[in-house]
Each structure stands twice: as structure tokens, then as C-alpha cells.
Structure 1
């Protein structure tokens, strides 16, 4: 999402099949038969997939790429209607008949024995440090080890959630919203905002048939914008990472703008720093303390390439916390924009920023393990005209020794994608000394390639994409999908691209349409997918096609109508496969059913058949929110999703657009047990099928 200031377990629970029939699971079939692409497509599972992809992509025997088949047990619910917000009662989470959605945890709910936050007042740092953070985004459930077929893995786990950003007036209790710009800012106000960012690790359990937060729990903790983190990998200790507060260049305070996420097969959480630039301000256009003119110019050009500008995005942190003055502390921005690894099972562990994965505006970091235990991490840079990346670990994943994987993300090769016409593509290595990544072009070593990842990708001529966001892979075939949310600059005039020398301002280019991004003024977005050569995650070439072009069937312009089969939607963002191969899609648009969204309605969660493209609307959301974050229990019978910033864009009073979740519509809140509606609050929603059963069947 692109926000405005607005234990040692040896199996991956997400690979567990929830096949409720007596038939072999899809995973069993493919692993047993070791099907090649052609053999796979000749089988009953592959017929619809071939039709969807187009036969031309599957000719020849030299490559073996698995195409995603129809979901096991299909999609078994009827679509809910679009939410057009025609009545006050529409400010809610709606799911299909036979399902129940209930609030699990909301911003300000206590994680300890201490009291919940009273949202009628301002949030403070002290309160926020023991309560659930704000504006939930990516999340993952780490189940406790199972003790049998129906063990506690399905009734108890650690829920780890990102808290992407804050609405400062909500945090600091300022009305109207415009009053924040003129308010007297104090360090206490900023510390409360910083504490609302980051990550929550929360033990949850199913007690008396109802999911709830376990309080207290030794596992519950908050990681915030001021939590000490470690820098590791090639860029750790580099001169461009050193500051007066950290002359070693190996320690940094906090993680910020934690958007989507990932997780590793060794059971750690990956949180991704996205729009970190908005907290910084370069007030003077200088880089104080940098005496070499050429280095100063490169630092300032880098700030522009990543969107660091005077005033930032309106948070005003730089006014009272000089760490966020990019002119006075020019290296501090280099310490953000990383993938951060967290061990949820060790409450005393230090979060680690893994610099080998590159510095961008990370959306998520999706790991895929190859047949030979090679690990690849796929990542999108969420801004208009940015790129798709893949990191391949140098060493193999060890499934029998968790400790052996501790630093697996510190060494490997980072690649950026080039999508060629005709459905082929290449992974271009971002390796120092190759392809122009040399000192005379501003890259003194591999550390600088990683600190200046965007500029390195510019130099290699990677394909500019329409806001690369979430990435997800099929649980068996390893086919990979990515959402491209929108790009209103695509195909506009005068045409321009990202300069090879890395001097283009963030998001400012106007690229022409291309094969992978085929629509001008791409306001509704699309989803692209690819299959690695020979099915190997470390391949350097791949085949791709477009899964869907989103849109409104009633739009006046043909190129805005898309080719959706089923329910219309736009601005695809969250993306996730369940254990049976159903593709779940979450959207992020204005969320009030106006303008371009008058026919589509508010934000939603949909379910798609990857073999046919059929899409059904599973969930509609409260007003002016984003649907984001998704995870489930190993048996597939409990789904958890996030509702972020309900009621966004209010002007006069906090509740003018939404009172969710304290309206009580989706069950009483965990904070008070009764409606209060002091402020709309981001929350995690738990969804179950009445009477039990796998979600989506």
C-alpha cells in the first residue's frame, strides 16, 4: 500500500492442505508425479489453466513452468453486493451468508494487564507502548506447534501485524484536521506518533469458541519507530550508513512505514519499510558535514530519487526531532527503506534490517523455496514507474536446523526485472562492477549499489511498472503474481522515463505504454504473473502474462473497462493464495463509492480462480478505509484481515466519515465492550464460517 499522510517448526503451515474430501490434494498429486508443464497441462487440472494463459506460452519442452490450476474444492460462496454507502448501516464489514466477521483487536487495545486507551483523548507514548498500534497493514499468523490432527496450531498462535502510518490529528486529538498544520508541535506529540508505528506481536487464542487476544502473554510486544534495530549485510557499517549518533553504521532507531510483509520458512517475520521518505525534510537543500562536492551532489540526488523533500509529507517530525532533518543528518535516510527480519518467538530479539535485499519503498517481501531449497524473495517498489526485484540467497535453506538459517538473508544476489514483449523476461543482476555499476557512475562498491538500489535499476534499464505492490505465489506450482495498483502518468505527455544516471525525481516520469503495462492513465490497475524458467526460483529468465486488467464495465472509456470475469474492482493491492489455490485480492482506492468508483463501490476483498480468472466479491468494508493484510490458521477455517484507516479524509470531526469499529456493527470492540465512537480505529477482523468449514469453500 502506498500510504498518504494521510518456536523451531520444520514445516510451513501454509503448505498444509485443507482438502476435506478423500481425494489426494493438489500438492500430493504434483509432488508425487513431478509433472512437467506439458504433462501438467495435459492432465485434468491443467485444461482451464491452458485456456486462461493461451497455448502459445506453453509450446516447447525446454522449460518446465507450472501454471496455476483451478482451486481445490472451488469457490463455494455467492458474491456480496458492492457497498455504495447508501445508509449509515453500510459502515461495516460485510461477508457472505454463512460467515461471521468479528473485531479481534483495534488500535489502542491493551496487550498487557494495563488499561485500554480511551480514544476520547490523545494517544501518548506511554499508552501506545503497551497497546495495539495504528493503521494495520501486512500481517501473518505463526501457529503454535500442533499436537495432533486437531492440535493447538489451529486455536493458538502469534499474530504479527504491521502498523504503516498514522493520522496525526487522530493521535494528538486535534480538530479540525487542518489544525495540525498550525499546531504547536512538541516532542511528546511526535513520540506518540512514532510509538503508533511499527509492529505488534500478539498471542491470540480461541477461548470458549471465540478468538481473542491473550493478556498478558510473554510473547506480546511492540516494535516502534524508536526501537533499537541492527543493520546487517553488505551495507552495514558503510560510510553512507554512519551518523553522529551511530558512528559504527550498524545500529538504527526504529522501523517506519511498515507496509506489507512476508515470512520465512524458518518462521521469522519480514516487515517492509515503504514510504519512509515522508518523515524526512531537507529544509535547506544542503547535506551538512559532507565536504566532498561530488559526494554531496550524489546524496542530494539520491534524496530526490527517493522523494525526500522540504516539509516531508506533513508529519512535522523534523521540527522537534532533528534525526529527521535530512540536511543536518544526510545519512539518516539511508538507514530506512529496508526489509526488516523479526523473530516473533523470541521477545528479546533485536529486529534486523537486511541490507542485501536492497533499499527501496518496499511493499512486501514474498519468499519462495525451490525444489532444491534455494530461497528467493520477491519484492515490489511501490511507487509509480518503479521496479520488481528478486533476491536469491547464496546458501540453501536448512529445514532441519533453524539456527543454520539465521543469516541466510545477508548474502546472495539481488536482481531487477525486465519484461520483454512477447511474454519473456529477464532478471538483471544488481552486482557491483557489472552493467555500468562502477565507481565512475556513482557506485563505489556493492554497498552503494544496495543503498542506491533505484539508481542501479535505472542504470540497468529495468521495466518501469505501474506501482508494484503485493506479490504472492501459488502454494504448489510456484507461479508468482503481483498487483500493479495504478499509474495515472502512464502514457501521458510529454513521454519520459527514469534517467539511466538516476537523476529522475521519485514518481515523476511519464512512461509510454508497454507490453507489461498496456494501458494509458491506468487508474484501475492490473495483475501480472510469471513462471520461472525450468520452475527454478534462481532462474535468470521467465515467462509472463497479464492475469487481469481491472476496471469498471460501465466506464465511458474502453481502456477503463478492463477484462474482469465476475465482479468489477480496481486498485488491486493485497494479494494472497490460500492452501487450496484460491487467489485472494484486496483493494485500496478512495473507499467512498464516488467518482471513478461510483459503480464499483468501496474497498473489498475478492476471491479469484487463477485458472479461469473468475472473481467473486467476498467482503465489503467500512467507508473510507483500505482492506489490507491477510493470514489464516493452518486448517483454513479462520481468516484474519485488516481494516486500515476507516473514515479517512475527515475534515471537521473524526467520525464524519466512519465510526467503525466502535459502532458495534461487527461485534463489540475489545477495548470497551460497547459502542463509543470516539474515533474510527484500524482493526484486525477475524472471519469464520458458521458451523465450521474452510473459508472460501
Structure 2
């Protein structure tokens, strides 16, 4: 029979599956490098908040350091801000309308199996996955009414996935399990197929409503899909497994958070908190796994390796050394995860490719600088864990639109950022022989550096950051923005103007300007906004945030063609609507002006969710936004009693389902203007 399984203690500030801190290096904290600047200031009016305001209003690296310059127009923000929301609905400004679209379980391919809690694992391979996240709209023939919507499915909540879970006291991490510790094989298959990426053709009808179109391009890429490894790690001893003795293939992609869109119009899905999926009972675990949070343990996040029947596709989640050599077991299986996965949405027969030269870590996503003919391709990525780093890849070969493809990402240089106390910064190369990355220091070759990206970044002295998440590039100025969502491990001794809160619950957004082209090795940086309430939050001018602008835990980020900065929040479901987070209500999306720093709340979501993923059609008159894990704040006891806190989007007594929002203006105008 099925038994409830609820994993052990989870850090209360982390969302389900977020990676625990694993950086034990002695590198400077982001706060440490600014301690000198803060010590020169007096605490105006005797409060830290006042000190922050005073410091931010001065020269680099605070406040208005990166002015756009003449000839660059600030975007208009033409809607009235909405209040904080706590209801089980989506609220948008007056004059806007919203449609809930493609919820988990929507059929898109095969025999178009209808949504049902009783749906099989094979059915799920033809349905929209769960926990919608990063997303992009690929126009067909330039159309703003007909295109491919490609979206990530970060993880799952098994209790909402299986009919067999009904009545069990399961929390958001729990899953059905047999008395002997084994799992039902089809339940595991369904969970794997609910992960990954969906590619679905969508079209706007004459009535303004969007619909799924049955099309040959529709497909699912899941935790079971065969994938190619490319770049310096492919074919090395690091990724030899029983499935791929030559180290050139693997199966599946997991925990796909944010994304990226290449200059040659393909999609990149990030592999973020993948490490928790693996068990490993070896007494000693080397840095290729330990530096990513894998420790000696018999259990994985969902116990997939214990699926009944012992199928190879499930056993691989046990990374214990059980054979005489790596080609006889899956000790190296975790080394095939932690990359950006390239998917060609217009070729349903293509094999997804993991681009290993972009680094191996908890990728939140990747953002490309505008491609320039004859210059290198440049891409930025954040490692979403406490005290981890921000990276940049610069291709070896120049971009040529006529023949550009993913191979540009297989040769180049990966850099990691160091933020200096004077508002300058530098990119440190993670390359053989540079910055101490030598065989004598434990880095034998490029593949060794990339498989151990975090350890290499530790060694070169990169700056520890507060959970780097999404990035965005201003299309007019080239300034790069990154969200730093929170870091509750910051101590009192590390409080300073850039990180003004011990136990940083609220996060901030940093931005920088490269010194010349995006391939430069130096940059200047400042703080765009300190998230928080009306007392602790600070805008670009160092002024307190107004009620229309308060938010916590910035995560999703996108800058539209008119330069509006769209900010999405991800307050963990473990603290949402309680304690110091109660004032923020449900997770939300706001819009900021990059020149004035003005921020207005645009959208609030239903109960227990994260707002994530945002893109518009080319004409900017339709916006797509994702709502992930509504109802996640339902307690184990309430779930067992059938008392769910959310029934969005279907209402009534329905189980909550992640879904995409389609937002339009009633007058047909540009979103946000």
C-alpha cells in the first residue's frame, strides 16, 4: 500500500527543493568588501535604515551611478498600481484582463490524453508538465497571434500529482511510498515526465482568447528524454556511466528554473536544484558532488531510485559506486546535470544538448547580451544558492548570423565575477593555467574546471553573493541586471550598505555596465533597489519604498523592448503571509523605471504560489506570465482532510494547478505603457 513520505527538516527560508548552503570557501562575502565604505558613515538618526538611505544617495557604488546618458528615453508606466493581494485569484490593473491558460495536465501531443489525477506516466509525457517557470514565445512567421510557447517545469508536488495521495498527511515535499520504502514505478515515471520542458503551439482566436493548437511541433522534453553532452566535459571520464560508456549521452533534464534564448533562436533550459534528486551511500564523496550539496545518504528527494522493478532509468538516481568501474554503475550520473540544455523548438526530432562550457552549478538561467556581427557571443548566468557566484561566458569564435548555432557555446572562456569596494568589478577567467587553476592546485584540465565550476570559482577568489537568480540586459544601455533573492545566513558582522540586513530576508537587485563591449573583463556596478517593506526597502535614489512598491525576494526578471523592468517575487511558501513577510501578501509582479527607479505593482497571484516567467508577443500586446505551485502552503494535516488553501485556477473543490496567465489590455494597447 502507499504510505506517506515527508522528507526531513527543510530550512524555513528556502522553497521546496532549494539547495542548502555548500560554499565553505574563505572568499570575501559581498558584504565584507563594502565594510570600509559603511564604516566611514555615521548612522543618521540612529537607525540602519537611515544610514542605508544616506549611503545609497552618494557616489559609486550606490544609487544613480550608472546613468543612461543623453539620447536614451525612459519608458512610460501607464497603469495605476494595485494593492497587495491575499486572495485566491489573480489581480491585474484596471483596464487589463487575464486568462488562465495551459494548466498542468493540458494535453498537447499523442492521443491528447485528457487531464486526470488517474493519468498514467505515459499520459504525462503528452501533457503540459507541472510547476511552470521560465518561458519564451517564439513567433511563427513573425506573428504576435501564432507561435510556440516554450516553458520550463521546475519540479513537482507529488501529493497533487497522484490520485493515490488523497487522504494522506503529505506536506509539499511528501510523496506516496510503500511500506518497504519502494515507490510505485508508474508514479515515478509520471513524476519524471512532469519535469522538463513543454513546447506547444498557441494561437489567438478572433475573440481574443488563446488556444492550444494540435501541431507536429508540440512535444515534451522530460526527465527521461535522451540528451547529448557537448563541449569540454563531453567524452571525459567525469561523465562515463553504464548508460553512456563513452560519456557523450545522458537522460533527462531536471529542476528547470529560468531559461535563455540564443541569438540563433533556440531555447536554453537551466538545471537548478538537481543535486537533491540523487542518493549516494559512498563513505567518501569528492568535490564533484559534495560541493553541490550531495552527501552520504540513502535517500533522494523523491526516492526515484527505489521504484519497483529496478528499471535502469530509475536506478540511475543512486550515485553509489556499486560496480567495478564507472561504466558499470551511476556514480557519475550527477556529473551530467547542472548545465544549460539547448532545445530547438522548431525541430521536434532534434536531440537536446547540454552545453557544458557554460559551467556546472545550480543554473537559475542564462541571459545573452545582444549579438553583434563579428564579435563574441556573451552570456551571463547566476548560481542560485547562498554565497554562490555570478558567471559570464565569452565565445572564442565571433557571431555570424548566417551560420551561428549552439557550437559557439562549446568553445570560449567562462568567467566569474569579483565586485570591488570602489564600485568597480572584474571578471576572473576559469581557464587552465589562469588565476591559479593549475594541476598543482587540483585543476588538471578544462573539463576538470567545468565539472567543478564552484570549486574553481572558490579558488580564484570570486565574490560570494546572496543567491543570484534571473538576469536581464537593458536593450538601450547594455546594463546588466541580476536579482539577489535573499540570504538569511548573513551575520550581523556582514551588515553594510549593499546588504543592509542581517539574516537578509528581502533581497535586492544589482546592475553593472561593462567597460566597453560585453566581452570586457572589467565593469562598474551599483544597486538598483533594496527590496523590503516601507521601512527597510530603498529605491534607486535611496528613498523608502512606497506601499505600491514594496516586495520581497526578487526572482524573475525581464526588461521589455521599451526598457520597463519587470520584477517577480518568490517569497518561500514556508514563510509566505506570516511574520515579517505578512505585509507583502501573495507573490507578485512589479514594473520599474530604470532611470527614475519608480516601481509599481502590476499583478498579484493566488494563495501559496510563486510568480515567475514573463514574456510578451513581438507587438507587446499580449503578455504571458506563469503561476507556479498554487496551494503549496496547504499543511499536511489540511491535505489529508481535503482542506486545500487554493483551488486556482479551476475554482470550486478542484486541486490547484500551475498555469500560464495571458494578459491583454482592454483597449488592445502595449502592456505596461
Output the TM-score relative to the length of structure 2: 0.83
CA contact (8 A) 2:250 2:336 kept: yes
Supply the distance in 1 between the matched residues of 2:258 and 2:70 (Cα, whole angstroms).
24
1:690 aligns with 2:666: yes
Cα distance in 2 for residues equivalent to 1:658 and 1:98: 26
Match of 2:22 in 1: none
Aligned to 2:593: 609
Map of 2:21 onto structure 1: none
Counterpart of 2:155 (choices 147, 155, 165) is 165
Query: C-alpha distance in 2, partners of 1:417/1:65?
Result: 22
Which of 665, 676, 680 pairs up with 2:656?
Answer: 680
SS at match of 2:431: coil
Structure 1 residue aligned with 2:269: 271
Give the structure 2 partner of residue 80 of structure 1.
Answer: 82
Is the 1:388–1:468 contact (alpha carbons within 8 Å) kept by the matching residues of 2? Answer: yes
Asked whether the equivalents of residues 107 and 115 of structure 2 are also in contact (C-alpha less than 8 Å), the reply is no
> Which structure 2 residues correspond to residues 302-313 of structure 1 after superposition, within 5 A?
302-309=288-295, 310-311=297-298
Give the C-alpha shift of residue 314 in structure 1.
Answer: 3.1
For structure 1, the 5+ residue unaligned runs are 7-50, 147-152, 287-298, 496-511, 664-675
Structure 1 residue 548 and structure 2 residue 529: aligned?
A: yes
Give unpaired runs (5+ residues) of structure 2: 1-12, 19-54, 308-313, 322-329
- Pair 456,106 (structure 1): closer, same or farther in 2 beyond 3 Å: same
1:427 Cα offset (Å): 0.2
Q: Contact 1:436 / 1:459 at 8 angstroms: preserved in 2? A: yes
1:586 paired with 2:568, answer yes
Cα separation, 2, equivalents of 1:427 and 1:2: 29
Contact 1:655-1:677 at 8 Å conserved across structures = no
In 2: Cα distance, 1:308 partner to 1:454 partner:
14
**Aligned 1:76-155 pairs, distance under 5 A:** 76-83=78-85, 85=86, 90-112=87-109, 114-119=111-116, 121-146=117-142, 153-155=143-145
Q: CA–CA distance in 2 between the matches of 1:359 and 1:276?
A: 11
Matched residues in 2 for 1:580 and 1:208: separation?
27
Tell me: CA distance 1:481–1:236, structure 2 relative to 1, closer, same or farther (3 Å): same
How far does residue 606 in structure 1 lie from its aligned partner after superposition?
Answer: 0.2
Is the partner of 1:258 in helix, strand or coil?
Answer: coil
Q: Deviations over 1:197-221 (max 9, x none)?
A: 0000011111123343333101100
Establish whether residue 531 from structure 1 lines up as the match of residue 521 from structure 2: no
Map of 1:452 onto structure 2: 452
Q: SS where residue 315 of structure 1 aligns?
A: coil
Name the residue aligned to 1:418: 418
User: How far apart in 1 are the matches of 2:424 and 2:355?
Assistant: 30
Partner of 1:644: 628
- Mapped to 2, the partners of 1:562 and 1:56 lie a distance apart of 17
- Which position in structure 2 is the counterpart of 1:389? 391
**TM-fit CA distance, 1:649:** 3.2
State the Cα distance separating 1:66 from its structure 2 match: 4.8
Rounded Cα–Cα distance in structure 2 between residues aligned with 1:222 and 1:573: 25
Aligned-pair Cα RMSD in Å: 2.6
**Contact in 2 for aligned 1:65/1:533 (Cα 8 Å):** no
- Rate the CA distance shift 1:570–1:357 in 2: closer, same or farther, 3 A: same
- 2: CA distance, partners of 1:313 / 1:562: 46
Q: Deviation per CA, 1:496-555, whole angstroms, max 9, x where unpaired?
A: xxxxxxxxxxxxxxxx34665453211100000000002x11000000001111111256
Cα distance in 2 for partners of 1:518, 1:556 equals 10
Alpha-carbon distance in structure 2 between the residues aligned to 1:549 and 1:312: 38
* CA displacement 1:638-663 (0-9 Å, x = unmatched): 00000000000322326611000111
Secondary structure, counterpart of 2:618 in structure 1: coil
SS of alignment partner, residue 598 of structure 1: helix
Distance 2:341 2:186 in 1: 26
Change in Cα spacing, 1:454 to 1:57, as seen in structure 2 (3 Å) is: closer
- Would you say the 8 A contact 1:513–1:519 is kept in 2? yes
- Describe the superposition over 1:186-235 as per-residue Cα deviations: whole angstroms up to 9, x where unpaired: 22211110000000001111112334333310110000001010000011
CA–CA separation in structure 2 for the residues paired with 1:352 and 1:613: 39
Change (3 A) 1:563 1:247: farther
**8 A contact 2:92–2:603 mirrored in 1:** yes
1:285-684 map, 5 Å: 285-286=283-284, 299-309=285-295, 310-311=297-298, 314-320=301-307, 321-328=314-321, 329-369=330-370, 371=372, 373-399=375-401, 401=402, 403-491=403-491, 512-513=494-495, 516-534=498-516, 536-554=517-535, 563-564=544-545, 566-590=548-572, 592-650=576-634, 651=636, 652-653=638-639, 656-663=644-651, 677-684=653-660
Aligned length: 589
The residue matched to 1:177 in structure 2 has which SS?
A: coil
Secondary structure at 2:254's aligned position in 1? coil
What is the CA-CA distance between 1:612 and the residue it aligns to?
1.4
Normalising by structure 1, what TM-score? 0.80
